[in-house]
Structure 1
Amino acid sequence: MSNLLREKINKNEKILGTFFELGSMSVVECLGQTGLDFIIIDNEHGPFEPESSMDYMRACDSVGLVPLVRVREVSRPAILKPLDIGAKGLIVPCIETVEQAKKVVEYGKFSPIGKRGFCPSRKDYWGYSHPQGQPIEVGMQKENEDTLIILQCETVGCLENIETIVSMDGVDGIFIGPFDLSISMGIPGQFDNPEFLKAVERILAACKKYNKISSVFTGRFDDIDKYYKQGFDIVTYSLDANILVDGFKNIVDKAKGE
């Protein structure tokens, strides 16, 4: 199964998604009617386990959304399981060191790039999405190309090593987590601080230099266009829960004249 997100990036389309926190297949189906490109099923801060995550991926498939998963930690099970059940890419949080980045690639990419465990699974319809008789290494190569491994830069450690990390074979891109990055830098929430802006530019420049995907989160609607113009490939806007509350709050305030 090809990765539509990769295809859209290659066409230089504006890519927009949101974090999925509410935990309902119906919500996924609703989000699929909006024109969003992807959702991030949040296994880090959300309450989801593999079984429920797989259901949300199925709902994504039915409405044309690309399912990404933010994993809970850098470990083989946390990385392998979402990929086996059909995630098109992973957002890997809290990267601090080059060694951690190497481990993510080892767990998330097949040989010769990494050491991902091989097993027919939902990702390839238990092997039946490939032509019968196709050599195993051909399928592994396609999985490596289609599976996005995107590391979250949200620590000073990752920032200090960003060029080395981004240059690694198997790292497909970087996702900037602005809240935790600013906290790690000692300037929590100061997104207009010159030091924070310099950090964002450094990360973006590294991605451009090595032709890797650049992605950023924002909770501010006005920042979406700003980040596109700045050169980011992907913008993740807010959380489904926050958008739901803000939408209804706006309706209630207007209806009641408040």
Structure 2
Amino acid sequence: MLSENRLRQALKAGRSVFGVLASLPTAASIELIGDAGFDFVVIDTEHVLINPETIEHMIRTAERYRMTPLVRVPDADPKRMLRLLDGGAQGIVIPQVESPETVRQAVQACRYAPEGNRSLNAGRPGAFGRDALSTYVAHANRHIMVVAMIETVAGVAAARDIAETPGLDLVLEGAADLSQSLGISWDTGHPRVLAALEHTARTCLDSGVPYAAFLRHEDAGAYWRARGVTTFMLGDERGIAFRALRRALEQAHTDTGARS
């Protein structure tokens, strides 16, 4: 049966949670993230080519660590979302959301009737039909998450309507694409970018929807916590691994005197 969604439970309780993007197409990446102690993972299929079987293995690995597996899709294609959910994903992350209609369509695709119109299949999330379908459907509707990324000027302008869409569980920021949309590409610390992020966070929280912020600099945690945010992303595991490897190499050069 589909696991209890510990992330959704933590959000409802207002507890702090930490997640990371998984961009390496291997279950070993999820093992590293799980052993490190993260609460949730976002498997990225927007920017990364991962075959369906590997995604399912990554989801299984997250389940083993009792870590909530979300999957970021490249678009709001209902059939794509259906297959990921049937593979065990506990939530779908939709990028570039600019209207409540996109969220409504995702909710319909991710939830069973009467909350949506997801096609029924008693696969691995439904324990292959072990339990009554009515039991599984009710359980799935309680635990599947719909997450919207607001990362454009149009999305920021529609933030209140997006946040107030029934069935939305979480909003995730996307400062890099937002900076591009604002015409100040890749300057994620620019005052206009921060103002747009703060507006979106405040709007979401005022509407009762949790907001997830990326921790991009040393004091980012305190910055966002002071604004009521308790859901945090630490980037993607490739970048984290790269920076750790580079620091280790630089330290090795220093320790061995190989670099002046």
Query: Does TM, normalized by the shorter one, top 0.5?
Result: yes
Within the candidate set 141, 162, 181, 1:144 is matched to 141
Give runs of ≥4 in structure 1 deviating > 4 Å. Answer: none
Structure 1 equivalent of residue 225 of structure 2: 228
Within the candidate set 174, 177, 191, 2:174 is matched to 177
Q: Which digits, 9 at most, give the CA deviation of each residue in 1:91-117, with x for residues without a partner?
A: 111222332222212212222222111
Mean Cα deviation higher: 3-12 or 84-93: 3-12
Mean Cα deviation higher: 230-239 or 144-153: 230-239
How far apart are the structure 2 equivalents of 1:228 and 1:84?
35
How far apart are the structure 2 equivalents of 1:104 and 1:238?
24
How far apart are the structure 2 equivalents of 1:217 and 1:125?
35
Q: Compute the displacement of 1:61 (Å).
A: 1.5
Mean Cα deviation higher: 182-191 or 44-53: 182-191
Q: Compute the displacement of 1:122 (Å).
A: 1.7
Matched-pair contact (CA < 8 Å) for 2:73–2:81: yes
SS class of match (2:36): coil
SS class of match (1:236): strand
Structure 1 equivalent of residue 154 of structure 2: 157
Gaps of 5+ in 2: none
Q: Which amino acid aligns with 1:76?
A: P
Q: Alignment identity in percent?
A: 24
How far apart are the structure 2 equivalents of 1:220 and 1:37?
20
Structure 2 equivalent of residue 4 of structure 1: 6
How far apart are the structure 2 equivalents of 1:117 and 1:139?
13
How far apart are the structure 2 equivalents of 1:224 and 1:48?
31
Structure 2 equivalent of residue 34 of structure 1: 36
How far apart are the structure 2 equivalents of 1:139 and 1:210?
30
Matched-pair contact (CA < 8 Å) for 2:159–2:204: no
Structure 1 equivalent of residue 186 of structure 2: 189
The alignment yields a C-alpha RMSD, in angstroms, of 1.8
Structure 2 equivalent of residue 114 of structure 1: 116
How far apart are the structure 2 equivalents of 1:190 and 1:104?
30
How far apart are the structure 1 equivalents of 2:169 and 2:209?
6
How far apart are the structure 2 equivalents of 1:88 and 1:228?
26
SS class of match (1:32): helix
SS class of match (1:215): strand
Matched-pair contact (CA < 8 Å) for 1:41–1:67: yes
Structure 1 equivalent of residue 214 of structure 2: 217
Q: Compute the displacement of 1:196 (Å).
A: 2.1
Q: How many residues align?
A: 253
What TM-score results when the alignment is normalised by the length of structure 1?
Answer: 0.90
Q: Compute the displacement of 1:210 (Å).
A: 2.1
Q: Which amino acid aligns with 2:139?
A: K
Within the candidate set 66, 69, 84, 1:67 is matched to 69
Matched-pair contact (CA < 8 Å) for 1:19–1:239: yes
Q: Compute the displacement of 1:221 (Å).
A: 4.6
Mean Cα deviation higher: 34-43 or 116-125: 116-125
How far apart are the structure 2 equivalents of 1:122 and 1:229?
41
Matched-pair contact (CA < 8 Å) for 1:14–1:228: no
How far apart are the structure 1 equivalents of 2:218 and 2:144?
29
Structure 1 equivalent of residue 24 of structure 2: 22
Gaps of 5+ in 1: none
